[in-house]
Structure 1
Amino acid sequence: MGGAADAKKAPFGSSLMSVFMHADAADVALMVLGLVGAIGDGISTPAMLLITSRIFNDLGSGPDLLQEFSSKIDENARNLVFLALGCWVMAFLEGYCWSRTAERQASRMRARYLAAVLRQDVEYFDLKVGSTAEVIASVSNDSLVVQDVLSEKVPNFVMNAAMFFGSYAVALALLWRLTLVALPSVLLLIIPGFMYGRILIGLARRIREQYTRPGAVAEQAISSVRTVYSFAAERATMAQFSAALEESTRLGIKQGLAKGIAIGSNGITFAIWAFNVWYGSRLVMYHGYQGGTVFAASASIILGGLALGSGLSNVKYFSEASAAGERVLAVIRRVPKIDSGSDTGEELANVAGEVEFKNVEFCYPSRPESPIFASFCLRVPAGRTAALVGSSGSGKSTVVALLERFYDPSGGEVALDGVDIRRLRLKWLRAQIGLVSQEPALFATSIMENILFGKEDAAPEEVTAAAKAANAHNFISQLPQGYDTQVGERGVQMSGGQKQRIAIARAILKSPKILLLDEATSALDTESERVVQEALDLASVGRTTIVVAHRLSTIRNADMIAVMQYGEVKELGSHEELIADENGLYSSLVRLQQTRESNEVDEVSGAGSTSAVGQSSPFIG
């Protein structure tokens, strides 16, 4: 994702703030309460040792003095109960407040990220590296890293820091001689916690990140399961999935070795205990200290050192979360060249629908060395139907992309009713345009909701009217659940003709002034093409329509036909006008198509087939 390099260069202190950039006033209150809870939770352990030292000393006074100290023992026992209640409250605040604010901030971050991505121009997605599944997994990992740091690592760090300072404060207060002598052992105590936190948990995170690769393989295989079945590619898919798991397996073995070393290194605490007991015994014998004090001070020293090691291991995750937060913020802060979220721009009071391309120059951002248009000119009068024909790569679909303002030309202008579309408010402009593509995009929801995508607040009667105009109402009504029928992922439950008619109904519901048909019938059989073409003819009435033609049958009745080649309009006129020129480019394309159709018929007839063979072949191959 963009901004990764900037995230690495940013100072740690400033980039760390990106983790908390999505907090509101309620989150600040939750984090303050969570900090209080984490500090209280960390201090509770040394406080318990302080009270316990007094109880041990009283119990060690012997049977003769025990009756005298019984009231103190009772008092300290009550203090332990009060401490337990206070610890419960502090631990609850720590766990609840940090988990709650982490979920709130992570949810807000994901929502802002999606809104920012939907705001980006098409160029952003053209230049993005990686598959959709990998990009989604990367974003998911970034948000999970931030959420994990907020919910666990920050409170854990604060709690361990409080435990360290509290433990050594208690140890110094109880037995400063022992504490100063044992202070160098802190370095040894840091090792177990630091190894466990930094190495072992770090490996676990790398394993989780590695699972995105086999996850992407599984996602692609399941989403295209029919293709996998049709090519009997189950074995190859499993081999690819297993190969993607090899790295995580290697890391798992490494994790097991690190876990054994980290847990085994905890044995060093017993050696430090032995030294503290030995030196503490000398303090009891020669300096008059009590055994309970020696025990509590020794325990405080060891627990404080282990807490410091565990707390320092979390610093690594603050750096990771900062980088993740910076990557997300880089997308959120990115202002695209074509900003669909901007409300600036003009709105025309009355839209006639005249479209004109004036000396347009353009090349795709991903291929700047290959210009598509050098000086492209075309005018489509309001309410007329214009067809674009030509060989692949001639720039037909680019006309649609520029009119939708997916891209801006590097030179010239695209005008709507004489106004450069770059001066118009982008959302308003796209609301005037309906697009039906060669491969219609349906969402995994009901037919009703797919059609409502064209106009979210439309009444059911409007949806039905749009479906009738798209020649889709009859087949929808025959379905068991009617308009509530689920279309499946990417419309897999619908046939090609049914998907196209649903897409046309969605465009009609939008009631656009301009209708763009980008090879809308190219992938259909003859009967489906006829039905869909009838729906398109009805939808085109009273609208400016631009048809990217794939078959002759779809453009014969167009008001004007533009024959394109190498990004230029070579011929312009009606079908009759263009076909009259036997040496023209349009006539050659028509003859080429007719020749292909004749060859296909001859091949089928020679094979003895009795099936219908009327499907039109591509206009140009």
Structure 2
Amino acid sequence: MSTTTPTPTTNASQRSSLTTLKGLLPFLSPYKKQFFLAGIALLIAAGATLAIPAAFKQMIDMGFGGTGGHSIRHVDLTFLALFGVATVLGISTAARFYMVSWLGERVTADIRSKVYAHVVTQSPQFFETTQTGEVLSRLTADTTLIQTVVGTSISMALRNALLFIGGLVMLFVTSIKLSAIIIVLLALVVLPIVLFGRRVRKLSRDSQDKIADASAIAGEILNAMPTVQAFTHEHIEAKRFSSSVENAFQTAMRRIRARSLLTMIAILLVFGAIVFVLWLGAHAVIEGTMSGGELGQFILYASMVAGALGALSEVMGDAQRAAGATERLLDLMAVESPIQNPTHPHALPHHAAINQPGATLSLSDISFHYPSRPNTNAISHLSLDIRAGETVAIVGSSGAGKTTLFQLLLRFYDPQQGTITLNGVNIRDLQLHALRQAVGVVPQETIIFSANAIENIRYGRDDASDEEVIAAAKMAAAHEFIEKLPEGYQSFLGERGVRLSGGQRQRIAIARALLKNPPLLLLDEATSALDAESERLVQGALEVAMQNRTTLIIAHRLATVKSADRIIVMDQGSIVESGTHNSLVELGGVYATLAALQFNVHQGTNEPAE
């Protein structure tokens, strides 16, 4: 049960955090106005913060240092100025917080929508190798980390960068000698922080990968709970998930330990350098080469610079984690589906254009193998022509290639050899939506969505009226049981239709396909989950629905296809027999053997055995 994830296009260790985060620029660029407003608020807030130490210097040197009314008046004005600066700081900080928080939420929502829209266009090949839990982890956990960076960390980084630069400038204005010393010391501090930060980034990506693995396991098991409980594997699966969670915890702890050590190193080195420089400043005041106000100003600016540097190291940790998350999302966005729309699509001729009901279908020398099984052909040199309005049944043992044929017709995969045409047009030349709009499917495994009955049926055609939905339900023999639900058509059917029986789910799926009203109808064991009475009702509805359309039916129960215009017998990906029920029984081949097992008839005759 391993999880295969999209392979990064570039080795993670070869890309810096900044380079990786540049991948977010397409999501940020539509909001230049909001960034501009946030930037103005940021500049005002940083300017107000940088003005405070200068005000304190004036207060110490000219207020507390003097005597008389002039000093008192100056103190009053200084405190009024300080309150004015605080007011500006409060308003600008609130504006900055609002704008960057809005940007964080907006950009995160855009990323989630874009990634999800990209994922749902992938072919089934993608989902053969990627678990849905892995994708969900990237849509939730990874985008939350990016939200932290966009909504908080970028703003904090810019704010502290401004305070760091502004503080440094004011330090030099206050004392060139002390500032030069502190700059040299801080330069020595930055090197170990940068080197250690690279290790934190690698651990951050590893931590996100482990969380995604745990999510993948949980998603897989929660979707298979009846099977898990039927085989009494609850404790086994709980232990497997616990082991995965513990693995993620251990990886996270390595990241936390590394980040804690990084923070400790940054604080010790930075404040050690500042304490040393302040010790020199204290001696300068004693010697009379520096005033008390200047030392106070220097202390405040030095604290500001140190605090900004410490905050930047914290932001760097967030950036390291977000870089790992961004890398994973960009890897997902870089995955291209092998099934693409044509550059110059052709229009699909309608019924009137071909002067016949239904759709014509032609398969010419088709050979296909699944990407995950390149050495085994699921379809081998298959050729088949189906007339408009014809009902063709496809039978054969499991693994004969019947369902694969349906997947090729829907262009979930492209054959490695041969062509498929619909109404005379190669399906590779059709828009995927145009092709699939022309095909209605009732799959063997019915999918019911977490919605009410009417919306589940309306999934077949989203612009259908309630009356059309109810008419389709009646044709599929679903109206009666839906009416008996607690709220009728407004009844919630539960996740994956857990409130319905297998037969009821199948009839919902049939109603959905009938509502779509396509020229080509694919029925994959459409009545397999029905009881005898429901099967009789649905079979009658399907016979009506098959009129004026081309229908392909996959069936193991031959009783459901005896009246087909033609029966195709498949074996190991090839057509081995073709004809009507009576002619194939008389032929005495594969179909006759299947009929003998199911109908208890003598091969070579069409009479029941005595």
Give the structure-2-normalised TM-score.
Answer: 0.87
- Give the secondary-structure state (helix, strand or coil) at the position aligned to 2:587: coil
Query: Could you tell me which residue of structure 2 aligns to residue 109 of structure 1?
Result: 111
Map 1:315-464 → 2, pairs under 5 A: 315=316, 317-318=318-319, 321=322, 324-325=325-326, 328-329=329-330, 332=333, 336-339=337-340, 344-350=345-351, 352=357, 353-464=359-470
Shift of 1:579: 0.8
Which is worse superposed, 266-275 or 45-54? 266-275
Q: Name the CA distance, whole Å, in 1 between partners of 2:245 and 2:275.
A: 46
Letter in 2 for 1:147: Q
Map 1:144-155 → 2, pairs under 5 A: 144-155=144-155
Q: Indicate if the aligned counterparts of 1:40 and 1:90 stay in contact, CA closer than 8 A.
A: yes
Which is worse superposed, 548-557 or 522-531? 522-531
| Structure 2 stretches lacking a partner, 5+ long | 602-610
Q: Name the CA distance, whole Å, in 2 between partners of 1:162 and 1:337.
A: 48
Query: Could you tell me which residue of structure 2 aligns to residue 275 of structure 1?
Result: 276
Q: Structure 1, residues 291-311: CA drift from partner, whole Å, max 9, x if none?
A: 121122023223303312432
Structure 1 residues 60 and 120: CA distance shift in structure 2, 3 A: same
Of residues 75, 78, 82 in structure 1, which corresponds to 2:77?
75
Q: Name the CA distance, whole Å, in 1 between partners of 2:341 and 2:404.
A: 19
Task: Give aligned pairs, total.
Answer: 590
Map 1:198-217 → 2, pairs under 5 A: 210-217=210-217
Matched, 1:586 2:591: yes
Q: Name the CA distance, whole Å, in 1 between partners of 2:376 and 2:502.
A: 33
Letter in 2 for 1:467: A
Of residues 513, 517, 520 in structure 2, which corresponds to 1:514?
520
Which is worse superposed, 274-283 or 427-436? 274-283
Query: Could you tell me which residue of structure 2 aligns to residue 186 of structure 1?
Result: 186
Q: Indicate if the aligned counterparts of 1:376 and 1:567 stay in contact, CA closer than 8 A.
A: yes
- Give the secondary-structure state (helix, strand or coil) at the position aligned to 1:5: coil
Query: Could you tell me which residue of structure 1 aligns to residue 95 of structure 2?
Result: 93
Matched, 1:57 2:61: yes
Letter in 1 for 2:590: L
Structure 1 residues 588 and 256: CA distance shift in structure 2, 3 A: closer
Q: Indicate if the aligned counterparts of 2:210 and 2:251 stay in contact, CA closer than 8 A.
A: no
Which is worse superposed, 466-475 or 567-576? 567-576
Q: Indicate if the aligned counterparts of 1:38 and 1:159 stay in contact, CA closer than 8 A.
A: yes
Structure 1 residues 59 and 264: CA distance shift in structure 2, 3 A: farther
Q: Indicate if the aligned counterparts of 2:42 and 2:92 stay in contact, CA closer than 8 A.
A: yes
Matched, 1:296 2:297: yes
Matched, 1:474 2:499: no
Q: Name the CA distance, whole Å, in 2 between partners of 1:249 and 1:11.
A: 25
Task: Quote the sequence identity (%).
Answer: 32
Structure 1 residues 88 and 202: CA distance shift in structure 2, 3 A: farther
Q: Name the CA distance, whole Å, in 2 between partners of 1:17 and 1:141.
A: 20
Structure 1 residues 177 and 33: CA distance shift in structure 2, 3 A: same
Query: Could you tell me which residue of structure 2 aligns to residue 614 of structure 1?
Result: none
Q: Indicate if the aligned counterparts of 1:190 and 1:306 stay in contact, CA closer than 8 A.
A: no
Of residues 530, 546, 553 in structure 2, which corresponds to 1:547?
553
Q: Indicate if the aligned counterparts of 1:357 and 1:379 stay in contact, CA closer than 8 A.
A: yes
Shift of 1:182: 3.2
Query: Could you tell me which residue of structure 2 aligns to residue 311 of structure 1?
Result: 312
- Give the secondary-structure state (helix, strand or coil) at the position aligned to 2:578: strand
- Give the secondary-structure state (helix, strand or coil) at the position aligned to 1:293: helix
Which is worse superposed, 273-282 or 585-594? 273-282
Q: Structure 1, residues 143-168: CA drift from partner, whole Å, max 9, x if none?
A: 23332221122111111111111111
Give the structure-1-normalised TM-score.
Answer: 0.86
Structure 1 residues 232 and 273: CA distance shift in structure 2, 3 A: same
Shift of 1:373: 2.8
Query: Could you tell me which residue of structure 1 aligns to residue 503 of structure 2?
Result: 497
Q: Indicate if the aligned counterparts of 1:403 and 1:414 stay in contact, CA closer than 8 A.
A: yes
Shift of 1:97: 1.4
Q: Name the CA distance, whole Å, in 1 between partners of 2:6 and 2:410.
A: 25
- Give the secondary-structure state (helix, strand or coil) at the position aligned to 1:4: coil
Structure 1 residues 146 and 557: CA distance shift in structure 2, 3 A: same
Query: Could you tell me which residue of structure 1 aligns to residue 243 of structure 2?
Result: 243
Shift of 1:185: 3.5
Structure 1 residues 324 and 45: CA distance shift in structure 2, 3 A: same
Q: Indicate if the aligned counterparts of 1:46 and 1:166 stay in contact, CA closer than 8 A.
A: yes
Matched, 1:484 2:490: yes
Q: Indicate if the aligned counterparts of 2:9 and 2:331 stay in contact, CA closer than 8 A.
A: no
Shift of 1:243: 1.3
Q: Indicate if the aligned counterparts of 1:578 and 1:587 stay in contact, CA closer than 8 A.
A: yes
Shift of 1:336: 3.8
Q: Name the CA distance, whole Å, in 2 between partners of 1:210 and 1:414.
A: 43
Matched, 1:19 2:24: yes
- Give the secondary-structure state (helix, strand or coil) at the position aligned to 1:545: strand
